[in-house]
Structure 1
Amino acid sequence: MMMAARGVLRFPPKFLSPAGGVIIGSRSSLHTVRGGGRCSVRQTWRQGGLGRQLLIPHHPAIITSPDTNTRTMFIKVQETPNPNSLKFLPGVQVLESGTADFPNLSAAQKSPLAKLLFRIEGVRGVFLAAEFLTITKEDEEAEWRNIKPEAFAVIMDFFTSGLPVIQEGDRTDDDHAECGGEDEETVAMIKELLDTRIRPTVQEDGGDILFRGFNEGVVYLKMMGSCTNCPSSVVTLKSGVQNMLQFYIPEVVEVVEVKDEGDHLVEQEFEKLEKLLENKNTKGE
């Protein structure tokens, strides 16, 4: 079960209570509620003088507000092949169509929801789709037990606020790159296979794949969401996507992952910052 010492909450692995409930720490108060032989946890979140109560079983998370005019949200959380990514299903429409990938805070400026999620310590990337959103954490040191409660709060606040998920005039990222010329017919077949056979499966795992080019038998694809920096992404790309494309389209020789120019620039700046911090820490020691 749960023990408290000096105001610090301690949790068993995976936050599972003996009754099978999920125990999530509270920023203000934590109350155990018993009923029907099951144990659940009710916690109150306080922001700006207002409180919200979260009644959270294992799956889904049930989030309610003390305001009787506010609806209840059932947020399901699903694991993905990437241990650093979780898929959140809020039970409401996230995007009207397409997908939107925000691998960094700079890219998230066109999405009020993504910007709020990036304020959570440990969040590295946000991916949005029609019925779900995927949150990717920075590394193994960033713990889901700290990120998930904050994510639940942000998701509930946002979808009860009425704000647009994507700012008006901004586009989502579900468009494949255009590629004409003599390979136009082959490219059309590649895109059709991606849209009908590959992307639906990848989106089930909290990610997406977009076509970025075709040249001399090489297909260039962009990986998004849970596919980004996933330990099994190379296997997915080579054993899954490449084999399927080669089976139906003999012209395909190889499949290669690429990133957009903006993503490369941000990664380079991030690496520079990491090296700068490492040098400062080394000098401090």
Structure 2
Amino acid sequence: MFIQTRDTPNPNSLMFYPGVDILPGSTLELTSAAAAHQSPLARALFRVDGVKSVFLASDFVTINKDEAAEWSTLKPNIYATMMDFFASNQPVVLDSYEAPTDTAVSEDDDEIVAMIKELLDSRIRPAVQEDGGDILFQGFVDGIVQLRLSGACTGCPSSIFTLKNGVENMLMHYIPEVEGVEQVFDEELDNVNHDAFKALEDRLGSDKV
């Protein structure tokens, strides 16, 4: 197995591509070994000293490291852990795992929410996932779209700027009922490097819509 890596805008996050399917059509962020009970792969990765969080996506894994840890030390251990794991033929997630449906349009969604989710899925999430993260719909209240960031962009202070200058502008342009966006934080998530999500600004903020 040849595992490739890709940098993210966050120096404390790195994307690993093992060349096999990880979590097709979904994402899953795990921020501690205790929370990783639903993913044997994540449990194995948390045994590597210096791994802070694990983000599983369709064909890659984003690792957030402790600031004091060095990638030069971490990467060989992560490579070995991944190769051993996939050689064992264990499932990436247990059968009890249910993929999140935060951005999937459901029959209960009204027309505005359905349009918001469709735009997130088709235009915004792909750009975020290219940088090793994800953006999930959490609600639409009084004209405000509530969104949660995960992966390489978890807890990133500059994400507020990106949301206001990129995501918000796009949603308001296509959907007049949207008056703004706000970031929803998961209390279990720790903040990571403040540059993590800034790369999305140019991609979305300058989009001529």
TM-score band by shorter chain is 0.7 to 0.9
Query: Residue 25 of structure 2 corresponds to which residue in structure 1?
Result: 97
Matched AA of 1:236: T
Query: Residue 200 of structure 1 corresponds to which residue in structure 2?
Result: 126
Residue 160 of structure 1 pairs with residue 87 of structure 2:
yes
Q: 2:15 aligns with which of 74, 79, 87?
A: 87
Matched AA of 2:51: V
Query: Residue 224 of structure 1 corresponds to which residue in structure 2?
Result: 150
Equivalences for 1:159-198 in 2 at 5 Å?
159-176=86-103, 184-198=110-124
Report runs of 4+ in structure 1 exceeding 6 Å deviation.
177-181
Cα shift at 1:174? 4.8
- Alpha-carbon distance in 1 for matches of 2:189, 2:158: 21
- Alpha-carbon distance in 2 for matches of 1:93, 1:180: 29
Query: Residue 254 of structure 1 corresponds to which residue in structure 2?
Result: 180
CA displacement 1:81-127 (0-9 Å, x = unmatched): 12211001111111233111112223211000001111111111111
- Alpha-carbon distance in 2 for matches of 1:178, 1:192: 7
Contact 1:86 1:134 in 2 (8 A): yes
Structure 1 gaps of 5+ residues are 1-72, 269-285
Matched AA of 1:152: Y
Cα shift at 1:234? 2.2
Query: Residue 133 of structure 1 corresponds to which residue in structure 2?
Result: 61
Say if 1:227 and 1:267 are closer, same or farther in 2 by CA, change over 3 A. closer
Contact 1:99 1:174 in 2 (8 A): no
- Alpha-carbon distance in 1 for matches of 2:55, 2:100: 10
Say if 1:180 and 1:218 are closer, same or farther in 2 by CA, change over 3 A. farther
Cα shift at 1:175? 3.5
What's the Cα RMSD here? 2.1
- Alpha-carbon distance in 1 for matches of 2:105, 2:35: 22
CA displacement 1:48-70 (0-9 Å, x = unmatched): xxxxxxxxxxxxxxxxxxxxxxx
Give the 3-state SS of the residue equivalent to 2:2 in structure 1. strand
Identity %: 54
CA displacement 1:25-54 (0-9 Å, x = unmatched): xxxxxxxxxxxxxxxxxxxxxxxxxxxxxx
- Alpha-carbon distance in 1 for matches of 2:107, 2:51: 38
Contact 1:127 1:134 in 2 (8 A): yes
TM-score where L is the length of structure 2: 0.84
- Alpha-carbon distance in 2 for matches of 1:211, 1:229: 16
Say if 1:166 and 1:172 are closer, same or farther in 2 by CA, change over 3 A. same
Equivalences for 1:1-285 in 2 at 5 Å?
73-139=1-67, 141-176=68-103, 184-259=110-185, 263-264=186-187, 266=188
Query: What number of residue pairs does the alignment pair up?
Result: 190
Contact 2:155 2:189 in 1 (8 A): no
Query: Residue 10 of structure 1 corresponds to which residue in structure 2?
Result: none
Q: Which has the larger radius of gyration?
A: 1
Contact 1:210 1:222 in 2 (8 A): yes
Matched AA of 2:170: M
CA displacement 1:193-229 (0-9 Å, x = unmatched): 0000001111111111110100001111111101103
Give the 3-state SS of the residue equivalent to 1:101 in structure 2. strand
Structure 2 gaps of 5+ residues are 191-209
Cα shift at 1:231? 5.0
Matched AA of 1:205: D
Cα shift at 1:177? 7.9
More strand by percentage: 1
